[in-house]
Chain A
Amino acid sequence: MPHPYTPLPPLALEELRRAVGVGRFLTDPLARHLYSYDGALDREPAAAVALPETTDEVASLVGICARHRVPFVPRGAGTSLSGGPIPAPGSLLISLTRMNRVLAIHPADLCAVVQPGLVNLDLQKRLEPLGLFYAPDPSSQLVSTLGGNLGHNAGGAHCLKYGVTANHLLAAEVVTPEGEVMPIGGLGADLPGYNLLGLYAGSEGTLGIVTEMTVRLTPLPEATSTALVIFDSLADASAAVADIIARGLVPAALEMMDHPLLEAVERTFEAGYPLDAAAVLLIDVDGPPAALAPQMAAIRAICADHQAREFHQADDPGERARLWRGRKGTAAAIANLAPGKISTDVSVPRDQLPEMLARMTSLAESYGLVIGNILHAGDGNLHPQIIFDPRDADEMRRVFAAQGEVIEAALSLGGSMTGEHGVGTEKRKYMPLMFSAEELALMGRVKQAFDPAGLCNPGKLLPDELGEPGPELPLPVGSFTHAAETVAVRDAAGRLTPYDYEAMAKLLALATREGQPVQLTSRPTERGPRQACEGREAISTLGLHSVLGVDAANATVTAQAGVRVAELQAALAEVGQWWPVLPPGGKEATLGSVLASGRSGPLALLYGRLADRVTGVRLALPTGEIVRFGVSCVKNVAGYALERLLVGSQGTLAAILEVVLRTVAIPPSVCTQAWYVPTETQAQELGRRLLLQPVRPAGLEVLNPAGAKALGLALGESGWLLVAAWHGLAEEVEAGAGAGQAAATALNLETVATPASTWDTVAALPSADDDAVALELSCPPSRCLDVLAAAQEVMRGRGAAVLAASPGLGNVRVGLPRSEGDSLGPVLDLLLTLTRTRGGSIRPLPPGHGLPLDSAPAPLVALTRRLKAAWDPVGILPSLTDLHY
């Protein structure tokens, strides 16, 4: 019998058909069946299928759905492994495969603008002749679409070094669940507003439909070297992985296969794996040719320390492909073993891999199943492959039970229930294993803020049952002031200072109960948002001052929000680790304030934006619940990435109690160089050359004479100081700095010696004190020096105005002296105009100065308000819309 399905209301049907035309609106039984599946096991027929070709068509389809209360679901190539695009009953399925164009490639800004239906590999093919690539490379890249990659925050074999999709998203155009077109993000660094883009990554098409995306591009590495290492013991192989990471080596890929898989591969391909081997590691290192051999030598030594049986290395493409052949063929090899398989997907902290693998072995035995493991070992992400015959009901029962136990095992080791495949329909029942009822309820409220009618891809990601909520906190009675003082002490400055998480939660709950406005603060010298100070009780996070755990083998650290950056770095240094962020607020800033500020600092060029260096947060909500999002794993796509939303939230959503940060090994070599550059044209040229070099600088800053003065350097009246740093292995740094000096020499530029504290000083420019107004201008990187020069022109005659720019990041900071006596209004207007005409935006530092600022599009403002209300229903914390818009 044909599957039953819920038809669309006739009126909606007609309108939808008109929106795309008869040929691209399918309602026949074939189409309903054809769009009922993805690469996983669940099925549900769509009520109708639309194949739009433009954003406008998507917006009208969604608008019609919203009016007629028809659920809808976006779908790319349908290759997902979790049921993400399976329609809910009665849904319109919106297939985006025909929106597959590359709209623009901007090599100077290292970005491309694409439609969501574009196949990942098709973008790579377009980029290769330009010497560029798009880093996320999921195994499905030859068919999966970039929109689908965004929805699942896809990783890939090379995300160990290059990061996952979220790390490479710059901007997007979204059709909201109400059918409005909303642009988010932008090319500049650290844009104002909530980090919505970070939230869309991994949201599985439940927050709207992305119809256009701007992605970051990366220069192709100069050379790559591959090693295939054979081990006699699984424990040795996984210990070698942890050691490689802990020693600070950053392979481009670090993959592992265990014995059952090796055997399957060998039977199918004769890839040259010994049948008695317990595990094989495949390792890619890339970079400047000179840096490959030392990395490989170090990796080889580590593998030898862990009793590796054989170590094969290849440098030329043909030989490398031969070594990778077996790994690439694993899916085919498994397909040969049985008619069906599921590829589960969990991640654990890297140092827990040996334990996790041991549990997989006993799980396979106790369920009588064949389980082979493919691991993105460097990321702690493993895909236990369970094979079965779908006709064997008993076997299927055992498969599903085993899948649940795989997830439970990963969670018990501090991992995630899904590293990169997503939750979809398949795993949402497991969500309560990973998240508390309060956490799930908050995710539900966030979803509702985006999609009040609940029509956008319903039935995904979040479970139907949230589980039991925890006991409510007992709150003292009485007015806020009275009750609060029974929970926390006041410090010398009169700020309420809780010393544990529960006290913080109680303070916020009290504030919500009593309607008392509060403000989170962390240091005496910090100026809070100006208008926020009046009538607000200050709550200090300085009572939460412990570093909880440094995990070098996993390259993460867990610390409380009141820990100062300097303290954190000291604790990390003891084990040779480092958190590669130079906070603009200075080393004395607390981790909570750094995260809340959302400012990445100059080293984001090499190490990624601030949100990319945070993997988890623990929070106290304004309503008094203590919740946790994110884990100590770099790969985690379970639920909404609320940890990314907190970065840059300016203390408007919740109190950060604790953070989990991604660290790196202290780079063995660091080199800073600076040049005096007389003209803007020369600065442009040198900046361009340095940024397009194969070895990118870790930081690149351009300062005006007033900025250089902060370094104790006198440049004279005009000209610029260009400062660059390189971090890495000695060979990499030598290659980068050497090429940098050669570029400067070619332009006849004069080298300037800079003090040791240069980068801390530069990161903190302009210092925000009461005598100056500090502004941050964001713009496309290629326009950065243009903005800088135009700003300098505006400031002419205001000699003391400090200007600093990060041309690789698209950020210009301006420090305006207030002492001049004249009104700042005209200057601000000029700055605003010059920034906007160059595609940028502007915000005061810290926010809340009451200065004229950019206005955001209406749907964005409305969404921002709803998001805020989802977290802070009474509004006890300051509001971002007050601060920014």
Chain B
Amino acid sequence: MPDDLTTTELLRCNKCGYCQSTCPTYAVTLNEAQVARGRNALAAALAEGDMESLEALRGPFFDCLLCGACTEACFSSVRTDEVMVRAREAFHAQHGQPFVQRFIFRRLLGHPERLAALLRLAGTGKRTGLARLFRRLGLLRWINATLEGAEGLVETVPRRFLRDRLKRIGFRRHRTGRGYELVLSRAPEAPLGPRVAYFLGCGTNFQEPDSGEAAIRLLARAGCEVVALPNVCCGLPPYSYGDMAAARELARTNLDLLRSTDAEYIVTDCGSCSRFLKGYVDLLSEEPEVAETAGRVRDWTEILAEHPLPPPVRPWEGIVTYHDPCHLGRGQGITEAPRKLLTQAAGATLVELPEADWCCGGAGSYNLSHPEMSLAILRRKLNNIARTGAKTVATACPACLIQLSYGLRQEESPVQVRHVAEIVAHAQGLDSLGD
């Protein structure tokens, strides 16, 4: 395991323990094995040969949410999330990677059409397809979740995925020197904005297409010409599980595509995707033009901060509170833009959420792999939401949307969860076109 990054990061951990103040898994376990300092101590013991690669290390290494809260609290800014990714890679090398995990990362994520077909198949019937799919694929053993838990997590699979709705949204095929492109023209009344390439994240495409539709139409309203990219998964899921090879392969596929687009910006409405895409510069540092390409990546809220929308035609009613997705807020420092969109473009009354940047426990597929821990972490978030008196929780990441909706549904709470884009689109008079 010891590579340069791990060595330098671990050396800088002074064991002060300040990460205890922000680590969500520590807050619910109060166990040294579940805090960045402890995880780093174990990684260091492993690296220095003071400890064998025990199966028992699975818990400390894989229970980390990779939320990055420890790094923020750390005087030395030790990047425990990166250390954990490498520790997971080493752990797999020793103990083997589960077959199903490997199959999904290497055979499905690089082929959105295969994933779509499978999900579509499973989504018919009672539309509780994700769980059925998992059951059929024997995935539940891997994710160690109860069937009820997984079924409860996502209520339905959308009838049509975002990629299938592009035509209805108004995308048209344009022929260019590089082949065909799907392009959505800027709104006729809008000022002249940049040409942006829209990166369809898996979560948005397969689970939260309404928010993607809203984000795309808002970009057009703000004056952007939007090109839909035929991208694959950004690579974050395999990266998180320590499957570096799969992550790099997906990233390389995307990088080829992104390099070739002439769009001024590459945009996505998933905070995790936008952060990981920006990180290609480190992941694929040996690739040509990677810095320039990754440098064009923006979260969609960044674009709308520079190309403002007109005032709302029907301001959002009821109090709204905003949950900062880890990879958007802490990961990219984007906290103001989504709040401004809510108060200005949607005219909403925003009440600040206590501990708004505390992880909700969603963390990609963490809620599937760690149902109990995830739920314990979620409870703190739900209590904070209740304290605001908000009718709507806004956020800007599909994983957070799924997790928060799940928690509020479990509590039978009347509070609804919406992507910022949906709230703004509604206030701007853009009704969902439906699926």
Interface residues of A (CB under 8 A from B): 1-3, 28-31, 33-35, 37-39, 51, 77-79, 95, 97-98, 100, 117, 119, 121, 140, 142-143, 331-332, 334-336, 339-341, 390-391
Report Cα–Cα, A336/B8, bound state, in Å. Answer: 12
Closest 6 CB pairs of A and B: A335-B76, A335-B75, A97-B30, A332-B75, A34-B32, A79-B17
Q: Is the CB of A30 within 8 A of B60?
A: yes
Q: Is the CB of B14 within 8 A of A2?
A: no
Q: Say how far B165's CB is from chain A's closest CB, in angstroms.
A: 46
Q: Knowing A100-B30, A331-B75, say if A37 contacts B15 (CB, 8 Å).
A: yes
Q: Say how far B7's CB is from chain A's closest CB, in angstroms.
A: 10
Closest residue on chain B to residue A3 by CB atoms? B50
Q: Say how far A41's CB is from chain B's closest CB, in angstroms.
A: 9
Q: Say how far A164's CB is from chain B's closest CB, in angstroms.
A: 21
Q: Is the CB of A33 within 8 A of B76?
A: no
CB<8 Å pairs between A and B, sample of 23: A29-B51, A29-B54, A30-B42, A31-B32, A33-B51, A35-B32, A37-B15, A37-B41, A38-B17, A39-B15, A39-B17, A78-B17, A79-B16, A79-B18, A95-B32, A140-B16, A143-B17, A143-B21, A331-B75, A335-B76, A336-B76, A339-B11, A340-B14
Report Cα–Cα, A121/B21, bound state, in Å. Answer: 10
Q: Is the CB of B15 within 8 A of A2?
A: no
- A residues within 8 A CB of B32? 31, 34-35, 78, 95
For window 25-76 of B, CB contacts with A under 8 Å fall at 30-33, 38, 41-42, 45, 49-52, 54, 56-57, 60, 75-76
Report Cα–Cα, A28/B42, bound state, in Å. Answer: 13
Report Cα–Cα, A98/B29, bound state, in Å. Answer: 8
Q: Is the CB of A341 within 8 A of B38?
A: no
- B residues within 8 A CB of A33? 41-42, 45, 50-51
Closest residue on chain A to residue B48 by CB atoms? A1
Q: Is the CB of B33 within 8 A of A30?
A: yes
Q: Say how far B76's CB is from chain A's closest CB, in angstroms.
A: 4
Q: Is the CB of B30 within 8 A of A98?
A: yes
Closest residue on chain A to residue B26 by CB atoms? A97
Confirm or deny: B314 has a beta carbon within 8 angstroms of a beta carbon on chain A.
Answer: no
Closest residue on chain A to residue B17 by CB atoms? A79
Q: Say how far A688's CB is from chain B's closest CB, in angstroms.
A: 31
Q: Say how far A342's CB is from chain B's closest CB, in angstroms.
A: 9
| The residue from A31, A119, A336 contacting B33, defined by CB atoms under 8 A apart | A31
Report Cα–Cα, A213/B77, bound state, in Å. Answer: 34
Q: Is the CB of A39 within 8 A of B33?
A: no
Report Cα–Cα, A29/B52, bound state, in Å. Answer: 9
Closest residue on chain B to residue A53 by CB atoms? B30
Report Cα–Cα, A390/B75, bound state, in Å. Answer: 17
| The residue from A100, A143, A341, A391 contacting B14, defined by CB atoms under 8 A apart | A341
Report Cα–Cα, A121/B14, bound state, in Å. Answer: 21
Q: Which of B15, B16, B45 has the most CB of A within 10 A?
A: B16
Q: Is the CB of B16 within 8 A of A30?
A: no
- A residues within 8 A CB of B102? none
- B residues within 8 A CB of A35? 32
Report Cα–Cα, A277/B349, bound state, in Å. Answer: 47
- A residues within 8 A CB of B51? 2, 29-30, 33
Report Cα–Cα, A8/B196, bound state, in Å. Answer: 65
Q: Knowing A39-B16, A142-B21, say if A2 contacts B50 (CB, 8 Å).
A: yes
Q: Is the CB of A30 within 8 A of B56?
A: yes
- B residues within 8 A CB of A30? 33, 42, 51, 54, 56-57, 60
Q: Is the CB of A34 within 8 A of B16?
A: no
Confirm or deny: B405 has a beta carbon within 8 angstroms of a beta carbon on chain A.
Answer: no
Q: Is the CB of B76 within 8 A of A332?
A: yes
Confirm or deny: B6 has a beta carbon within 8 angstroms of a beta carbon on chain A.
Answer: no
Q: Is the CB of B14 within 8 A of A51?
A: no
- B residues within 8 A CB of A332? 75-77
Closest residue on chain B to residue A79 by CB atoms? B17
- B residues within 8 A CB of A100? 30
Confirm or deny: B20 has a beta carbon within 8 angstroms of a beta carbon on chain A.
Answer: yes
Report Cα–Cα, A1/B21, bound state, in Å. Answer: 32
Report Cα–Cα, A480/B262, bound state, in Å. Answer: 106
Report Cα–Cα, A339/B52, bound state, in Å. Answer: 26
Q: Knowing A30-B60, A51-B30, A331-B75, say if A77 contacts B17 (CB, 8 Å).
A: yes
Q: Is the CB of A51 within 8 A of B12?
A: no
Q: Say how far B6's CB is from chain A's closest CB, in angstroms.
A: 14
Closest residue on chain B to residue A145 by CB atoms? B20
- A residues within 8 A CB of B33? 30-31, 34
Closest residue on chain A to residue B18 by CB atoms? A143
- A residues within 8 A CB of B21? 119, 121, 142-143
Q: Which of A28, A142, A335 has the most CB of B within 10 A?
A: A335
Closest residue on chain B to residue A333 by CB atoms? B75
Closest residue on chain B to residue A39 by CB atoms? B16
Q: Is the CB of A142 within 8 A of B18?
A: yes
Q: Is the CB of B38 within 8 A of A34?
A: yes
Report Cα–Cα, A335/B33, bound state, in Å. Answer: 24
- B residues within 8 A CB of A117? 30
Report Cα–Cα, A34/B33, bound state, in Å. Answer: 7
Q: Is the CB of A390 within 8 A of B11?
A: yes
Report Cα–Cα, A262/B338, bound state, in Å. Answer: 36
Q: Say how far A74's CB is from chain B's closest CB, in angstroms.
A: 14
Closest residue on chain A to residue B8 by CB atoms? A339
- B residues within 8 A CB of A1? 49-50
Beyond A3-B50, A35-B32, A143-B21: 8 further Cβ-contacts under 8 Å?
A33-B42, A33-B50, A38-B17, A39-B15, A119-B20, A140-B17, A331-B75, A391-B11
Report Cα–Cα, A253/B151, bound state, in Å. Answer: 56
Can you list, as one digit per residue, whether each of B66-108 has a CB less than 8 Å from chain A (1) or not (0)?
A: 0000000001110000000000000000000000000000000
Q: Which of A3, A334, A339 has the most CB of B within 10 A?
A: A339
Report Cα–Cα, A109/B180, bound state, in Å. Answer: 77
Report Cα–Cα, A95/B35, bound state, in Å. Answer: 15
- A residues within 8 A CB of B17? 38-39, 77-79, 140, 143
Report Cα–Cα, A157/B14, bound state, in Å. Answer: 22
Report Cα–Cα, A32/B143, bound state, in Å. Answer: 29
- A residues within 8 A CB of B76? 332, 335-336, 339
Q: Say how far B303's CB is from chain A's closest CB, in angstroms.
A: 29
- B residues within 8 A CB of A119? 20-21
- A residues within 8 A CB of B49? 1
Q: Is the CB of B12 within 8 A of A335?
A: yes
Report Cα–Cα, A29/B51, bound state, in Å. Answer: 8
| The residue from A29, A37, A51 contacting B31, defined by CB atoms under 8 A apart | A51
Report Cα–Cα, A100/B27, bound state, in Å. Answer: 11
Q: Say how far A31's CB is from chain B's closest CB, in angstroms.
A: 7
Q: Say how far B30's CB is from chain A's closest CB, in angstroms.
A: 4
Q: Which of B14, B41, B60 has the most CB of A within 10 A?
A: B14
Q: Knowing A37-B15, A335-B75, A339-B11, say if A28 contacts B56 (CB, 8 Å).
A: yes
Report Cα–Cα, A29/B42, bound state, in Å. Answer: 10
Report Cα–Cα, A140/B15, bound state, in Å. Answer: 13
Report Cα–Cα, A119/B45, bound state, in Å. Answer: 28
Q: Is the CB of B18 within 8 A of A140?
A: yes
Q: Say how far B86's CB is from chain A's closest CB, in angstroms.
A: 18
Report Cα–Cα, A340/B41, bound state, in Å. Answer: 15
Report Cα–Cα, A119/B22, bound state, in Å. Answer: 12
Q: Say how far B61's CB is from chain A's closest CB, in angstroms.
A: 11
Q: Which of B31, B38, B50, B52 has the most CB of A within 10 A?
A: B31
Report Cα–Cα, A3/B52, bound state, in Å. Answer: 11
Closest residue on chain B to residue A121 by CB atoms? B21
Report Cα–Cα, A28/B52, bound state, in Å. Answer: 12
Report Cα–Cα, A97/B34, bound state, in Å. Answer: 13
| The residue from A143, A336, A339 contacting B20, defined by CB atoms under 8 A apart | A143
- A residues within 8 A CB of B30? 51, 95, 97-98, 100, 117
Q: Say how far B406's CB is from chain A's closest CB, in angstroms.
A: 26
- A residues within 8 A CB of B52? 2, 29
Q: Is the CB of A34 within 8 A of B42?
A: yes
Q: Knowing A37-B41, A78-B32, say if A335 contacts B14 (CB, 8 Å).
A: yes
Report Cα–Cα, A334/B77, bound state, in Å. Answer: 12
Closest residue on chain B to residue A97 by CB atoms? B30
- B residues within 8 A CB of A335? 12, 14, 75-77
